[in-house]
Amino acid sequence: MKLQQFQHYLQEKKIDAAFFHNLEGMQFNATMYYFSKYTGSGVLLIPQTGKPFLIVPQLDEERARQTKTNVIPWKKKKLFETLQETMKKEGIGRKNIGIDYEHLTLSWHHMLKKELGKKLIDIHPELISLRRTKTKEEQDIIQEGCRKKISIFQKTLDAWNNFKTEGEAAAHFQYIAAQQGFSLSFPTIVASGKHASLPHYEPSQERLQRGFCVIDCGIRYQGYCTDMTRTLFIGNPTQKEKQLYEFILSIQEEVMEHYKAGAKVSDLDFFVRKKLGKYEKLFIHSLGHGVGLDVHEAPPISARSKEILQEHEYVTNEPGIYLPRKYGIRIEDDLLITKKSPIVLTKACSKQLQCF
């Protein structure tokens, strides 16, 4: 996205080129996608000016050619030979090479030191800083992704009475997403009854159980993740159960108004903990996180973080309480940060307690 801004940074810091790679199977590499929209395997080399280079195995050459980068297939020769030849031919310096300390493994670091550059410089902070605020184009994609996700979630609720197990409910969401050609941000969580006390529960083949049922789901739309949680009720809630849900919902809505550019994220987390009173000890995770090409990215919205919210960040607001082996409740919205109240991207999806 912000390729020119990144190249300007490289020039300023006298970094000859930045090196990224994705050679471990078929994983999605967010930074490579960010600068090239490429989802295959290979190496992305970004020089100080001009189009980036994708050096790819033959197997992915055709896919790479669908991007706007310079594509160099690496065939009989070894990867580093091809890379060195390319750099020489294109006049790309090899004195200072930018690498991502948060992603590069020790094995790759040893190889790069040997094969590529004299000085390897950590550019992770710059990448984080570029990616955390979203461009207009990214915001449009994210808004559309949230709309599509809500529609798939709604279709899942419409079919709810057909589901006997948590696995069936999760499978249905995923089926509609796949039918529409979307992959997932993460495997769908459907956690009913006592299972709801596990925030990262993996749905089972057990029958849906009476009580709160936490559904945490997201699709990936044009690379960008969405991440929303709703809590339903299976059976008839007691007055106390209704009140507990309403209590969490009211806190989730109250804190929402404080999500704005300039807010200290630790204040947001602390606000929720204070409001929770005696339930605070059941709030066993942080209030939220940034979202983007990775489902968890900067900034974290937690008590320990020193971050300040910035305009055009895309973050979650997800308080929850969990009583082991008893119940769990979590309500999560996706927000775009502005100078005033946030844009709630998941507003169209009701938060009234729905019972089945």
- One-letter amino acid at 212 equals F
Site residues (CB under 8 A) for a second copy?
A: 24-26, 39-41, 57-63, 99, 101-107, 109-110, 122, 124, 167-168, 170-172, 174-175, 177-181, 183, 186-187, 197-205, 284-285, 294-296, 324-325
Question: What are the tokens at 93?
Answer: 């310096």
Between residues 27 and 350, which has the closer beta carbon with respect to a second copy? 27
Between residues 189 and 353, which has the closer beta carbon with respect to a second copy? 189
- Residue 260 beta carbon to a second copy: minimum distance, rounded to whole angstroms: 26
What angle (nearest 5°) sits at the alpha carbon of residue 260, between those of residues 277 and 283? 25
Between residues 276 and 343, which has the closer beta carbon with respect to a second copy? 276
Peptide bond into 342 cis (omega under 30): no
Question: What are the tokens at 104?
Answer: 């590069």
Between residues 178 and 355, which has the closer beta carbon with respect to a second copy? 178
Residues facing 295 on adjacent strands = none
- Residue 134 beta carbon to a second copy: minimum distance, rounded to whole angstroms: 19
- Residue 355 beta carbon to a second copy: minimum distance, rounded to whole angstroms: 24
Which string of DSSP letters, residue by residue, matches 173-199?
HHHHHHHTT-EESSPPEEEEGGGGG-T
- Residue 213 beta carbon to a second copy: minimum distance, rounded to whole angstroms: 17
- Residue 122 beta carbon to a second copy: minimum distance, rounded to whole angstroms: 7
CB distance 17 to 99 below 8 Å: no
H/E stretch holding 22 reads strand 17-22
Residues 356 and 340: their CA atoms lie apart, in Å, by 37
Between residues 144 and 253, which has the closer beta carbon with respect to a second copy? 144
Phi-psi category of 211—alpha, beta or left, where left has phi over 0 and alpha has psi -120 to 50?
left
- One-letter amino acid at 166 equals E
- Residue 187 beta carbon to a second copy: minimum distance, rounded to whole angstroms: 6
- Residue 299 beta carbon to a second copy: minimum distance, rounded to whole angstroms: 15
Q: How many residues does the chain have?
A: 356
Between residues 41 and 346, which has the closer beta carbon with respect to a second copy? 41
Calculate the dihedral angle through the C-alpha atoms of 84, 90, 96, 97, rounding to the nearest 10 degrees: -60
Between residues 69 and 353, which has the closer beta carbon with respect to a second copy? 69
Q: Which residues contact 112 (CB under 8 A, 6 or more apart)?
A: 19, 97, 99, 104, 120
